[in-house]
Amino acid sequence: MTLHFPFEHTYAALPANFFARVAPTPVAAPRLIKLNRELAIQLGLDPDQLSTPEGAEILSGKRLPEGAEPIAMAYAGHQFGHFVPQLGDGRAILLGEVIDRDGIRRDIQLKGSGPTPFSRRGDGRAALGPVLREYVVSEAMFKLGIPTTRCLAAVMSGEGVIRETVLPGAVLTRVAASHIRVGTFQFFAARGDTDGVRHLADHVIGRHYPELAGVDRPYHALLDAVIARQADLVARWLLVGFIHGVMNTDNTSISGETIDYGPCAFMDEYNPATVFSSIDEMGRYAYGNQPRIALWNLTRLAECLLPLFSDEQDKAIEQAQFALGEFADKFTTAYQAGLRAKIGLFTQRDGDEALVQDLLDSMTRNQADFTNTFRRLGDAALDADNDEHVRGLFIDPTMFDEWAARWRQRTALEQQAPAERRDAMHRVNPAFIPRNHRVEAVIQAAMRDDDYAPFEELLTVLSMPFEDQAAFAAYAEPPEADQRVTQTFCGT
């Protein structure tokens, strides 16, 4: 039996300095942990064939599917503000691209499939824990409606990987609209390769922004489009309490997808200063800093594109600054619209922004759970008797009482019935997120006991984040003191 992947290779058709041709390193004894059957069907693949031992070999890199042209992509990047001129796929190999059932081109990439010319003395492998974390969180983000890379499969390698200790190895099959990053542009710009920047920009326009191909200034329009997508993406992150954890330019996708789930996490109690990443000692990528960092990263992209804007540097800089100046309005518009929806407002009025901010400030002072506060607020919109379920999340419940009185005065100005308001709020305020202690429990069960039942159950819960699932109510609860996860770690 031969598994068929209808591969195309538009990126591998670019000049040779865009990538390195390299095959995955075979693993010892691949064993399928999880196949995303829904995604396989969407990609036009046969999930039953992928579930076979031969499928596990392909999804681990032990065997190449017919038509694959494996490459490791070149890119650079700013890591915590420090520029590294060459990074690249050090443990990821792109097998090819497929056109999914919606006509969208998707990369299929193996992560943890062995060393590449960009590995920088690394082993190119991945441990089981980070693979499970990326699978859980990326699928949760997809079900929350946030643009994201997804996971097609997770496979045990049958080999150990050496980190601080020996850990079970695994390989993740990642699917993305593309793996082109801000850092990909930086790779060519740092070398003074304007032709490379132009070639890459033309490829990105053709792949992600085809509507720009015929405009007068396509490269200006490209920057505008990437700015718009990133502003919307980061607003969506904040609205569900997500912290990326490592917003380097090499982790900023040109397509506007969330990519590279390393030390990512979701907040429990609301605090804009929240940091989970063990390597973010200065809080550069704290929850509340993410819009500012997104703009910083986009500024690095604009610098790369300057030679395509104008031969006159001052003129090019002025044009780039104008485009970047639009970020704040685009982000604020998306974020404030999302916040109004979260508190059940159907219209926009003066004072709304202050009303929501007062709630957030009160939540910070009272260490109120972010997800549960907004979810339960929907029930309070239906019936004031349900206020008790929100008040109980506040150290000083009277602070919620004071705010709720103002909130009800505001909602009374709208015509929607209480049930309609509650239903609208529940459609945007999830009941379930991948809480850190739950993700850690899944990882520990798998690593310690080879037990994937908790992993499967968590995925089941997160597949319907906006539904009240009485059987899984415990998954909505924040961690007890002894369950708290205060640090998350990169998967390298």
Say if residue 166's pLDDT is above 70. Answer: yes
162: helix, coil or strand?
strand
**Residue 485: predicted pLDDT:** 82
Which run of H or of E encompasses 98? strand 92-99
Euclidean distance between CA atoms 425 and 66, whole angstroms = 47
Euclidean distance between CA atoms 39 and 156, whole angstroms = 20
**Are the beta carbons of 157 and 28 closer than 8 angstroms?**
yes
* pLDDT, tens digit, 9 for 90 and up, residues 189-239: 999 999 999 999 999 999 999 999 989 999 999 999 999 999 999 999 999
- The residue type of 35 is L
Say if residue 119's pLDDT is above 80. Answer: yes
- The residue type of 369 is D
414: helix, coil or strand?
coil
* pLDDT, tens digit, 9 for 90 and up, residues 442-454: 999 999 999 999 9
**Band of residue 276 on the pLDDT scale cut at 50, 70, 90:** confident
How many other β-carbons are positioned within 10 Å of the β-carbon of residue 435?
Answer: 23
Question: Which residues contact residue 485 at a Cβ distance below 8 angstroms, ignoring those fewer than 6 apart?
Answer: 265, 276, 436, 437, 439, 440, 479
**DSSP state, residue 239:** H
Burial of residue 412, with CB atoms counted within 10 A of its CB: 0-12 exposed, 13-18 middle, 19 or more buried = exposed
Burial of residue 469, with CB atoms counted within 10 A of its CB: 0-12 exposed, 13-18 middle, 19 or more buried = middle
Say if residue 2's pLDDT is above 70. Answer: no
Burial of residue 211, with CB atoms counted within 10 A of its CB: 0-12 exposed, 13-18 middle, 19 or more buried = exposed
The two structure tokens encoding residue 173? 């099959």
Q: For 403, phi and psi rounded to 5 degrees?
A: -70, -40
Which run of H or of E encompasses 110? strand 105-111
* pLDDT, tens digit, 9 for 90 and up, residues 294-304: 999 999 999 99
Euclidean distance between CA atoms 433 and 145, whole angstroms = 12
Q: For 58, phi and psi rounded to 5 degrees?
A: -70, -45
Q: How far is CA 477 from the centre of its chain?
A: 23
**DSSP state, residue 23:** P
**Residue 492: predicted pLDDT:** 53
Nearest by Cα to 263 from 243, 251, 249, 277: 277
Say if residue 460's pLDDT is above 60. Answer: yes
Say if residue 430's pLDDT is above 80. Answer: yes
Q: How many CA atoms lie within 13 A of 131 on its CB side?
A: 32
**Residue 121: predicted pLDDT:** 85
Average pLDDT over residues 424-435: 98
* pLDDT, tens digit, 9 for 90 and up, residues 29-67: 999 999 999 999 999 999 999 999 999 999 999 999 999
Rounded-to-10 torsion of CA 141, 115, 55, 47: 20
Rounded-to-10 torsion of CA 211, 213, 219, 224: -10
**Band of residue 279 on the pLDDT scale cut at 50, 70, 90:** confident
| DSSP bridge partners of 113 | 125
Q: How many CA atoms lie within 13 A of 30 on its CB side?
A: 26
pTM of the entire predicted model: 0.96
369: helix, coil or strand?
strand
**Band of residue 3 on the pLDDT scale cut at 50, 70, 90:** confident
Which residues are catalytically annotated? 250
User: pLDDT over 90 for what percent of the chain?
Assistant: 93
**Residue 482: predicted pLDDT:** 87
| DSSP bridge partners of 156 | 31, 170
**Band of residue 151 on the pLDDT scale cut at 50, 70, 90:** very high
**Band of residue 491 on the pLDDT scale cut at 50, 70, 90:** low
Question: Which residues contact residue 479 at a Cβ distance below 8 angstroms, ignoring those fewer than 6 apart?
Answer: 268, 435, 436, 437, 485
**Residue 489: predicted pLDDT:** 74
Q: How far is CA 325 from the centre of its chain?
A: 24
**Band of residue 9 on the pLDDT scale cut at 50, 70, 90:** very high
User: pLDDT over 70 for what percent of the chain?
Assistant: 99
Average pLDDT over residues 74-94: 96
What's the farthest any 2 CA atoms get from each other in the chain?
Answer: 67
How far is residue 307 from each of residues 7, 188, 220, measured CA to CA in Å?
34, 12, 11
* pLDDT, tens digit, 9 for 90 and up, residues 355-367: 999 999 999 999 9
